[in-house]
Amino acid sequence: MRVLQSLAAVLLSSAFGMAAPVRITDTHMTEQYHARRADLRKALGEGVTVLFGRTEDREEDLRTGFFQESNFYYLTGWQEPGAILLLAPLPEDSKTPGYEAKAKLPREILFLPERNPDQEKWTGRKLGPSDPDAKNITGFEAVMPAERFESELRKVLEAYPRLYTLVDQPSTARLRQLAPLRDISGAALAIAKLRMHKSPEEIALIEHATDVTLEAHRTAWQRAAPGLYEYQIAAAMLDVYQDAGCERSAYAPIVGSGPNSVYLHYSRNSRRMDAGEVLLMDVGAECAGYASDITRTIPVGGKFTRRQREIYEIVLGAQKAAIAAVKPGQSLSKTVPNSLYHIAYDYIDSHGKDLHGESLGKYFTHGLGHHVGLDVHDAYDPSVQLEAGMVITIEPGIYIPEENLGVRIEDMVLVTEHGAKLLSAALPREPGEVEKLVGRGAPAASGR
């Protein structure tokens, strides 16, 4: 399998009015994966790093297909099961004790399982470590059989005192058996710090996933009508981005009407919607490995009631205030002075009342946003403030169960040197613009 083999085809799509496609070659991406591994080796210093890729799981993969563990993919671009990554740093100073021994060791090894013809009858041909083009395809100078992992690890540990891995994974137990006297530390935070900063190529992929997601939402707005079921709207959205070549939903689609609009991660999508209700759709595509995350709330039937519009405009005002404040040095955290969350919360709490005359802040029940990348809730270091090149969501919401009324508006935002770029600006947010587009071209309700 070529690294990112489907990327060129995905980005060549012009069905959604995108800008000129970005062409990213395998060679270019191989260089980027290599640079990420070098950065990680430098960040972790005097220690060996071992990461295990996902293995094939017949029961789990039967439902979803095989998808690589995201940290492993970020560092390797490798999409086949059963691989293991070993990284060993080399001190910059050649006078460092043990330098000569370390210099003789490979800096990077990718271990691949030997081919299994019987298994390949079920899931397709895999690349084996002895295939003549293994190094060229993987981008690794050292490609070895997975059976050699234990012996190679022992060799490397003779020169290094510390071992790093993703300690929350079951594979950590295997490392503890292989190196019972070693200090095993977590590598996740160091990798997260790298993943928070998106390269131009990553940003292009996220923009593509966002463009496809926006088209899915536009299709849902046209489809939405009283009498239809939530799952019918979800199906219409899924069809758009699967037809565009995207692999899957970035998360379980949330399509909640009326009383279901107040549940943050509602995913049953089984209720029939009625006129006069709102429909909250939190749905995003994953394309070429990268996610998008967009939420819109629309009126079923095409017109917001006065109360729905009031709450919608408060949420929109809070979102605009937060987006306007996005810049390097700000934070998504709730507990710091430079918090974007508090900007949104304070706006909501100072505008409008509930049915009992109380402020609405208590109905904003979640955080303001999160990082997005290979995972929809992407890896991050909570101590790091926003910096240029990070991609986040801004998603305030108000959820009032007593009124069967939930409103959330969520957009994708790129942090720039001087502020924010709204990646999802092409999908309307103003209530009047939303009303103009809802139900246009919707088929008659099926009555199912």
> What's 144's domain CATH number?
3.40.350.10
pTM of the full structure = 0.92
The reply to whether 418 falls in a domain is yes
Pair 153, 135 in one domain: yes
The span from the CA of 279 to the CA of 98, in Å, is 64
Q: How many domains does the chain have?
A: 2
Query: What pLDDT is recorded for position 249?
Result: 97
Look up residue 293 and give its two tokens.
Answer: 């995350």
Pair 34, 80 in one domain: yes
> What's 326's domain CATH number?
3.90.230.10
Query: What pLDDT is recorded for position 11?
Result: 47
The span from the CA of 215 to the CA of 242, in Å, is 12
The span from the CA of 229 to the CA of 214, in Å, is 21
Neighbours of 132 (CB within 10 A): 6
Pair 175, 251 in one domain: no
The reply to whether 446 falls in a domain is no
Pair 212, 263 in one domain: yes
Pair 165, 269 in one domain: no
Residue 364 bridge partners (DSSP):
none
Pair 123, 190 in one domain: yes
The reply to whether 271 falls in a domain is yes
The reply to whether 221 falls in a domain is yes
Pair 182, 262 in one domain: no
Query: What pLDDT is recorded for position 357?
Result: 98
The span from the CA of 140 to the CA of 241, in Å, is 33
Residue 178 in contact with residue 156, Cβ under 8 Å? Answer: no
- Strand duo 143-145 + 420-422: pairing: unpaired
Query: What pLDDT is recorded for position 439?
Result: 82
Of the residues 163, 195, 227, which one is the last residue of a structural domain? 195
Query: What pLDDT is recorded for position 441?
Result: 56
Residue 22 in contact with residue 204, Cβ under 8 Å? Answer: yes
3-class secondary-structure state, position 212: helix
Phi/psi at 42 (nearest 5 deg)?
A: -65, -40
Query: What pLDDT is recorded for position 9?
Result: 44
Angle between helices 26-44 and 200-223 (to 10 degrees): 110
The reply to whether 1 falls in a domain is no
The reply to whether 131 falls in a domain is yes
The reply to whether 120 falls in a domain is yes
Query: What pLDDT is recorded for position 45?
Result: 86
Domain that holds residue 423: 200-437
Maximal CA-CA distance, the chain: 78
Pair 77, 166 in one domain: yes
Long-range contacts of 321-325 (CB under 8 A, 24+ apart): 321/347, 322/347, 322/368, 322/394, 322/396, 323/394, 323/411, 323/413, 323/420, 323/422, 324/419, 324/420
Query: What pLDDT is recorded for position 22?
Result: 40
Query: pLDDT below 70 — which residues of the chain?
Result: 1-25, 58-59, 441-448
Query: What pLDDT is recorded for position 314?
Result: 99
Pair 314, 405 in one domain: yes
